[in-house]
Amino acid sequence: MNETRPSVSDLPLFVYGTLADPSVFSVITGETPYRAEATLPAYEKLMPAESFPYVVPREGSEVRGFLVARLRPESFALLDQYEDEGRLYLRREVTVHTSEGPRRAQTYLAGPELLGATSLEDVDVDERLADFVRNRIESALAEQLPAEGRIRDLTLRARRELWGDAIEELVRESFERPAITSFAIKHQLAASKLPTLTWLEAEPCAHKYAPAYLRLILKAVVFNQLEERIHRDFRGSVRVADPYFEHGVSALAALRYAADNLGPLGDMAAALGVEAYNPLLEYVDYAVAAIFIADELYTREHLRPYVERIKDERARGGVPLGMELEFSPLGAAAVGAAPDDDPRFDGFYYFDDFDLGGRLWKVGGHVDDHSALLEGRGRVRGFLELAVGRLKVLDDLSRPVTADPVILSGLANAAVAFAEIKPHSLHVSIQLERGRPFGLPPSLSDLVCLMVLGGDVGPDESGRLRERRIYGGEIVDEIAGLSFSRLNEHRGHPYDDEPTAVVAFDFPRLFYEHSYLDVILALKAFQLADNPPPLELSSWAPYHEANRELAKALTAWAADPQPVSMADQGAFLARLERGLTYEATQLEGHDLVYRRTWLQGLEVKLAALNAYLASGGDERKLKP
């Protein structure tokens, strides 16, 4: 009697590379099947530095791996999709050796694209998994649209854009809740709902603000489209390592390019008739127009110099950094503003109505009215805040932006140029080392040096020199007192029960066309040198009595800024050198040449700033 041989699809799967990782297998298929050790004889496993593992025939060799049995047919379909079966890999029948003897199985052998490639840009496993999930989501979106064509493609891209933050949340969830079904994808996207402009019919008072909001929407969509293509076309150049924000470097290139092309962007918007509110157009129509503009602006040749410039500038350190930027036409009066005080955005009162949080998710955009960010809080007036690295505003999920102060400074400068809204303040966060205790509070002269570097020293309305951030009450709360620095926590995902501690410095001023490299490096080095406690004034804060005295003295200095002595300046520079040396030896920081060059330049800058203070505000003293 002849025994029926099982078909290839019924055979167990031999895994030896990324699929041998149970977490990867689970994200793709949703299964965590039983695995048995096995070997593949007469094959050799190759692991190129810039490609994926694969096996090739080689007599006398064997490949160790695992045999996975009783997989569902839909799991093989998902695995084929992940492995790009037919091009990157070929699923073929083989014979493996197990503890119970030889067995027929199947495995993924190198396909023509893998064998013909000298290197691949998308060799990061997490990126590849994320792309796999995004492709599944896009397939679910495409099922809702009619036949193929140019309009269909633009509509699909527009929907993907308008659901961008929801899609990214699904991608993140796929690593926590593997193999989300197509039904769950469609259900979650449908629950998010596409934004609309029909609400404007019942809000005639919002019509005069619509042009400013719509320009911001168009710019944000163009930025998102540019960043997405940069991330795809220059993947190897803009890739960042864990635990950093994956869009940090590509966002910098996209912001710079978009800011340099605001004129052409506006001209094309006018030509397409989307520079103002048109009741005949819906939100998706503006998104389609913005995607068309992005396609017209983007070429690899135009973007390559922007990516190369970032590669040339980079100066990676060893400490994770983050930032938040505040913008408002009203400056410090943004919080508590009355209706119509802000003639362009009305204090971003309609931010949520125009779904700007969904457009600015890659830069953590939200309205900050200096109160708690609560779901369903309704319309508020305040600052437009860009919290780069913020993954989810309401749950305060975030990643550090970078360990490179040049990247962080560049992002701040590019965001100011892109926003076209009066810049107000910059918050810089320095991640603390786990287990390192706080040292003693700093000296007043150290804080003065930091304020001179990053604050806002200049003449008031009467012409008298002040530090305007403190003296004007911008960072002074009636209850909490001076807001110079504070302790904060960041979580990378909702289930993170060991959040990362950071010290956030709230005093720096955000300017037009300004480099923040000196203040970022100084803040990092200042914190690393002795790990001083933040200048918090609550009774539970470490050294709160000493902090109160420091805050009082710093407030008095802000009213009448005086230069620090040469001895105090030297002590400050020595402290910074000690902090950067600590980073270099303990945390893989900047090399000696970089540290010395920067400190020498900072010494010259501090001397000029001191001369400016001593002169009572003579700007000629600031010139070399």
pLDDT digits (tens, 9 = 90+) for 303-333: 999 999 999 999 999 999 999 999 999 999 9
Sequence letter at residue 582: Y
Lowest mean pLDDT among 337-346, 455-464, 478-487: 478-487
Paired sense of beta strands 383-386 and 365-368, if any: antiparallel
Residue with tokens 């140019």: 150
pLDDT of residue 1: 37
Is 88's pLDDT higher than 70? yes
Give the rounded percent of residues in the chain with a pLDDT score beyond 90.
Answer: 69
Is 221's pLDDT higher than 60? yes
- Closest to 53 measured CA to CA, from 62, 61, 44: 44
Lowest mean pLDDT among 23-32, 183-192, 413-422, 500-509: 183-192
**Nearest-angstrom CA–CA distance, 79 and 91:** 10
Give the rounded percent of residues in the chain with a pLDDT score beyond 70.
Answer: 93
With both helix axes pointing from N to C terminus, report the angle between 592-614 and 444-454 in degrees, rounded to the nearest 10: 90
**Nearest-angstrom CA–CA distance, 143 and 182:** 11
Q: What is the pTM of this model?
A: 0.89
pLDDT of residue 311: 94
pLDDT of residue 95: 96
| Alpha helices by DSSP H, 351-443 | 356-359, 405-419
**Nearest-angstrom CA–CA distance, 429 and 405:** 11
pLDDT of residue 375: 65
pLDDT of residue 460: 92
**Nearest-angstrom CA–CA distance, 310 and 227:** 14
pLDDT of residue 5: 40
Is 118's pLDDT higher than 80? no
| Domains of the chain, start order | 8-120 (3.10.490.10), 195-420 (no CATH), 422-624 (no CATH)
What phi and psi, each to the nearest 5 degrees, are found at residue 216?
Answer: -65, -40
Sequence letter at residue 410: G
Question: Per DSSP, what are the bridge partners of residue 505?
Answer: 428, 485
- Closest to 217 measured CA to CA, from 306, 311, 294, 107: 294
SS3 60: strand
Q: How far is CA 523 from CA 190, 199, 219, in A?
A: 45, 45, 32
Is 354's pLDDT higher than 90? yes
3-14 pLDDT per residue, tens? 444 445 679 999
What phi and psi, each to the nearest 5 degrees, are found at residue 38?
Answer: -155, 165
Paired sense of beta strands 423-431 and 321-327, if any: antiparallel
Q: Residues 507, 484: contact at Cβ < 8 Å?
A: yes
Is 282's pLDDT higher than 60? yes
Return the ∠ at Cα 366 (arms to 365 and 370), rounded to 5°.
Answer: 135
Is 525's pLDDT higher than 60? yes
120: pLDDT confidence band, cut at 50, 70 and 90? low
- Closest to 10 measured CA to CA, from 86, 73, 74, 90: 73
374: pLDDT confidence band, cut at 50, 70 and 90? low
Q: Residues 575, 529: contact at Cβ < 8 Å?
A: yes
pLDDT of residue 518: 97
Is 539's pLDDT higher than 90? no
Paired sense of beta strands 13-15 and 465-467, if any: unpaired
Element (H, E) at 140: helix 125-142
Sign of CA dihedral 89, 95, 101, 103: positive
Average pLDDT value over all residues in the chain: 90
For the residues 500-521, what does the mean pLDDT come to?
A: 95
**Nearest-angstrom CA–CA distance, 254 and 229:** 9
**Nearest-angstrom CA–CA distance, 401 and 418:** 18
pLDDT of residue 6: 43
pLDDT of residue 37: 95
- Closest to 453 measured CA to CA, from 404, 394, 395, 517: 517
**Nearest-angstrom CA–CA distance, 342 and 336:** 12
**Nearest-angstrom CA–CA distance, 472 and 425:** 13
pLDDT of residue 149: 61
Cis peptide preceding 41, ω within 30 of 0: no
491: pLDDT confidence band, cut at 50, 70 and 90? confident
pLDDT: is 407 or 174 the higher one? 407
- Closest to 10 measured CA to CA, from 102, 96, 105, 97: 105
Sequence letter at residue 389: G
Neighbours of 153 (CB within 10 A): 13
Q: Residue 89 corresponds to which tokens in the numbers above?
A: 């890999």
- Closest to 424 measured CA to CA, from 480, 385, 387, 473: 385
Cα 259 to the center of its chain, rounded Å: 18
pLDDT: is 240 or 371 the higher one? 240
Is 190's pLDDT higher than 80? no
Is 535's pLDDT higher than 80? yes
What phi and psi, each to the nearest 5 degrees, are found at residue 541?
Answer: -70, 145
**Nearest-angstrom CA–CA distance, 592 and 283:** 53
pLDDT: is 123 or 111 the higher one? 111
Sign of CA dihedral 230, 235, 238, 239: positive
**Nearest-angstrom CA–CA distance, 238 and 192:** 30
